[in-house]
Amino acid sequence: MFDELRKPGGKLKLAVPRGALLEETLDLLDQIGIETREVRGDSRSLVFDGGELMLVTMRPSDVPTYVSAGAADVGITGKDVLLEQEDRPVFELVDLGIGRCRMVLATQKGDVAPSEHQRRLGMMKIATKYRRIAETYFAERGRQVELVEVKGSIELAPLVGLADGIVDLVATGRTLVENNLEVREEIVTCTARLVANRVSYKIRSAEVDSLAERLRAVVSRGAEGAS
């Protein structure tokens, strides 16, 4: 199986995100006939034979790195990752509609509106793990902010005075509520996307397009069933 990873013209290699996106990703792959049973098991392996595809599991944030470098032909990761890593060129093929989250600006409950805060004080200090997304958002609106990069529990930053607010990805918003924070502005809605390496998309276009079309059909059926 490991020889297959480096074999020219072998099976397409699909970068599969571990973590919160994994189960929904595997469910989609099941629906197009990809074998996912081993991935769902307790194996510590990172590479699995999915039948017509080789499945290479990794952190979602690593997917653009592997795909843009050609170490994986295609991959699945969140739109937030793609926006934050725009310097890693990949083709975005399908909005898979899973892993839906919102990138938001949040502050402590009861604070004045961010725009009013900036009018009074001139500049807000914002803590975030998503520096590029935050920079773009505020720059496009002509708002000056000081960004503080935080890797851990970002909700702590406003509570202890490190920052006036945060830019972060939220799903239900429960963590914000439990830490006396509230959403003040929505920046972008993020869902998982199928992406492709640019060279793979050219020289193996039939295979990549087939995979994209089958996933697109599954997503479409799901959307119709939910409406």
70 or 10, which is more confident?
70
Query: What order of strands is seen across the sheet that includes strand 101-108?
Result: 145-149, 124-128, 165-170, 101-108, 181-190
pTM: 0.89
- Which residues are CB-contacts of 202 (< 8 A; sequence separation ≥ 6)? none
Question: CA quadruple 141, 174, 171, 133: dihedral positive or negative?
Answer: positive
**Cα separation of 6 and 103, whole Å?**
37
Structure tokens, 135: 């920079």
Q: Per residue in 24-72, pLDDT tens? A: 999 999 999 999 999 998 888 999 999 999 999 999 999 999 999 999 9
Give yes or no: residues 94 and 200 share one domain.
yes
- CATH number, domain at 18? 3.40.190.10
Number of domains in the chain: 2
Q: Per residue in 185-222, pLDDT tens? A: 999 999 999 999 999 999 999 999 999 999 999 998 87
Domain carrying residue 165: 101-189
**Cα separation of 44 and 176, whole Å?**
33
Q: Per residue in 115-163, pLDDT tens? A: 555 555 567 899 999 999 999 999 998 888 999 999 989 999 999 999 9
In which band, very low, low, confident or very high, does the pLDDT at 10 lie, cut at 50, 70 and 90? confident
Give yes or no: residues 15 and 74 share one domain.
yes
For residue 78, pLDDT beyond 80: yes
In which band, very low, low, confident or very high, does the pLDDT at 8 lie, cut at 50, 70 and 90? low
For residue 14, pLDDT beyond 90: yes
**Cα separation of 17 and 34, whole Å?**
15
Give yes or no: residues 171 and 129 share one domain.
yes
Give yes or no: residues 195 and 89 share one domain.
yes
Q: In the prediction, which pLDDT does 48 show?
A: 95
Give yes or no: residues 182 and 145 share one domain.
yes
Q: In the prediction, which pLDDT does 6 show?
A: 60
Give yes or no: residues 88 and 167 share one domain.
no
What is the percentage of the chain residues whose pLDDT exceeds 90?
A: 79
Q: What mean pLDDT is predicted for residues 155-177?
A: 93
Give yes or no: residues 180 and 107 share one domain.
yes
Give yes or no: residues 150 and 115 share one domain.
yes
